[in-house]
Structures are given as C-alpha cells and as structure tokens.
Amino acid sequence: MKTLLTAMLCVSIFSHAFAQQLPGVLPGALDRHSKYSFELGKGNKMLAYARTVQDLQKFQNIDSVLILFAKEYKEIKSALAENTNSRIATYKLLENNQHQLDLTEQASGKQRFHFSAGAGEPLLIKDVQDTLLIIHTFLKPMKTKSAAVQLNEHLYFCLIVNRLEDIETLVQTGIVNAKIRQALQDVAKYPHHNLQKTGFRYNLTYGPDSDTPSFKTVETQNSPFIAIHPSVGLGAFRNQLVPNFQADFSFVPSKYGIIGYTLGWRGLFFTERNDITQRLGAQTNSFVHAGITIYDFRRPQSKRINTNHILFGIYLGHSVARRGDIFDKNTWNLSMTVATKGMFKIQPEIYFNGFFKNVMPGIRVQVGL
C-alpha cells in the first residue's frame, strides 16, 4: 500500500478541531491579543497572536525559529510511523539555548483511496493538514499601583500546513518573514487610529493572492460598552401584587472589569377599586433610577465580563410620571439586586418622601436579561 501526501489541501483556516483556540492554549488566553491571518500559498496558512505591535516586531524574524524546527523535526521523523493522521507540533524556545517539541496526532476520521487503471497499488490519500504552534514566552515590564513588575507574556505563531515537512520549503521562499513585515507596515499605515500605541486590539486578515489588508473589530483593549437589561416583574407592595416593566442601560467601562454604571426606567401598574362605582381601575407610576451594577467578579481576570450574570446592584430612583394617588410626586425609590439565578432577580426596595419619611417597603421578582 502506498501513501500519497497531497501537495495542496484547499481547506478552511479553521478546519481543525481547535477552531476557536490554539492547541494546548487555555480558553481566554488570547482575549487581549491582536490576531493576524495570512495565506502562504498551496493551502498553507499562518495565524499570529500578539498583545502589542511591539511584541510582534520583537519576534518578527520567525524564519530563524522555523529553521531550528525543520532541522530538529528531521532528526525524529524517521522514528514516526507514516500515516494519514493530522500531526500537531508545539515548539518552544527555552532558556540555556534549549528547545522543546511536543508532538501529538489526531486520528483521521476517514480513509480515502485513489485507484488508477494499470497504476498498480491503490494510493492512500492524506486529506487533513498538520499544525505547527510556536510559543514565545518572555518577561515584559508591567506597572501596577504599588510597583513595576515583570510578568510572563506570550506570543503565538500557528502554521497550518499540508505536511510538517513543508516548513523547510516555506523558509526557503522567505514568505513567512515577508508576510510579518507587510503586516507591520500596514498596521503603521492604518488611517483611523494609531494602532502602534498600546491599548488597541484588532483582527488583520489577508485574502488568498491578495496583499490588501482587511482590519476587523478594531477596538481598545478595555472596549467600553453598554449592556441592556430589559425585564418584567411582579412585586409585593401595599398588600397587593404589582406587575412592572423595567429597562436598564448599564455603561461598562471595561469588558474585563466588574462594574457598570446604570440608568434605567421602571413602570408600575396598580389596580384600585373606585369607592363610588366599585369598578377596578389601573394606575401607572414611572420611576427613573441610577446606580451601580456589579457583575461576575469570580471569573478569571483574563476573561471578558459576562453581563448576564449580575451579582449585586443598588439604585436610587425618583417618580417622573404618575396616574392616581399611590405615590406623591416627590417619591423616591431605593432598590437593590441581592440574588440572581439565570434570568430571575430578587430586588427588595423601599419608597419614601423627602429624607426617608413615610418609608414603605416592597420586594420584586424580575425576569429578564
């Protein structure tokens, strides 16, 4: 049986099982990295992840590392069984001029054979690509509130190739270093922001047979945003059940923080019986409130904030519209979010006039985002 290693595999850059993360890299580790995607020809591709442009500049001579890998891979290749599995190599440069190569295989989900009349034995075709992940780890000075420290930073180069043996050919063409240099030049020319300043994150993509850069999701690394929390609820107040509708808009200064500054509106719907006609009537009261919402601070710091998980909130509101005599026009409302479970929130509250006069307690259960 002969094995044919195909020269070109026209598959997606995300055709592997690790589509949304690199092999062996923890989820969330790349959240603050910019991403660079390159086409290297003949179905080969490369992804690079760098925290800053300066980090990418520091390690832009990736060919020197590829030369080391190609040499050392040759030394172990003879001991590897030839098959159609996808090989994943993780290559790290260690201290004292040492290198570490971790090699794993993912079994192919199928076998494809090629038959040709009069050509002898059938050919077993490899139709999955190999992966080389290069990880640069280096110390980077960081400023904290108390002192300047040095922390480990990581830079990733992920090459998706038809065969790991093709790395040597890519080095000979010089295309990998050329692509990195082109990306650095295009980042410097970006017209809308100075991406060479720290604090920006973006995706830079180059299409097949194209040198035109495509910048996507250019954002600051903190990326402030507004979280919207609509909900409906049912509360207990003055010995009756009171339905309500609420809409909160929370400004979150950093997607890696825990605090949102909230402005919202709540409408309450009461039923009252007319003493003369004995008919039930509806009375509505609206409040505008402002406060602070605290989100899921128990998550790892590197992960993005989950605004669907509210841990606590405190809000002060004031009556802005009313129909009926349930509240005076100068009524205040102080409420808190004290417990959440999925889409359910428990919010105790008090209503009062002036400086905590005529205090009236209540409690609500809200259902929503």
Secondary structure class of 182 (helix, strand, coil): helix
Structure tokens at 332: 């205040």
Looking at residue 296, the DSSP 8-state letter turns out to be -
Domain boundary among 220, 248, 282: 220
| Residues 169, 276 share a domain | no
Cβ-contact 296, 260 below 8 angstroms? no
Domain boundary among 157, 190, 220: 220
Cβ-contact 7, 162 below 8 angstroms? yes
| Residues 155, 26 share a domain | yes
**How many structural domains compose the chain?**
2
| Residues 229, 199 share a domain | no
Q: What pLDDT does 144 receive?
A: 66
- Residue 15: CA count within 13 A, CB half-sphere: 21
Q: Which domain holds residue 314?
A: 225-368
Q: How many CB atoms lie within 10 A of CB 70?
A: 19
Q: What pLDDT does 299 receive?
A: 54
Edge-to-edge, what's the strand order for the sheet holding 2-5?
Answer: 2-5, 123-126, 112-114
Q: Which of 179, 334, 312 is nearest to 266 (CA)?
A: 334
| Residues 257, 197 share a domain | no
Query: Looking at the DSSP assignment, which residues form a beta bridge with residue 335?
Result: 315, 349
| Residues 94, 41 share a domain | yes
* pTM of the full structure: 0.65
Q: Which of 224, 286, 289 is nearest to 263 (CA)?
A: 289
CA distances from residue 113 to 3, 84, 110, 360 in whole angstroms, order as listed:
9, 11, 10, 79
| Residues 9, 75 share a domain | yes
Q: Is 159 exposed, middle or buried (0-12, 13-18, 19+ CB in 10 A)?
A: buried
| Residues 215, 256 share a domain | no
Q: What pLDDT does 7 receive?
A: 38
Q: How many CB atoms lie within 10 A of CB 290?
A: 13
Q: What pLDDT does 275 receive?
A: 62
| Residues 307, 281 share a domain | yes
Q: How far apart are CA 317 and CA 237, in angstroms?
A: 16
Q: What are φ and ψ of residue 349, in 5° steps?
A: -155, 165
Domain boundary among 165, 194, 220: 220
| Residues 216, 232 share a domain | no
Structure tokens at 39: 């086409």
Which residue in this structure is represented by tokens 């209540």? Answer: 362
Where are the extended beta strands (E) located within 6-145? 34-41, 44-50, 86-93, 99-106, 112-114, 123-126, 130-143
Q: Which of 203, 225, 246, 368 is nearest to 305 (CA)?
A: 225
Mean pLDDT for back-to-back runs of 10 residues, the chain (369 residues): 46 42 76 88 90 88 92 86 83 85 81 71 77 88 71 89 89 91 89 77 84 81 81 87 92 82 91 67 86 75 68 91 81 90 89 85 89
Q: How far apart are CA 233 and CA 239, in angstroms?
A: 16
Q: What pLDDT does 16 receive?
A: 43
| Residues 287, 181 share a domain | no
| Residues 248, 195 share a domain | no
| Residues 128, 263 share a domain | no
Please calculate the CA angle 134-172-12 and round it to the nearest 5 degrees: 55
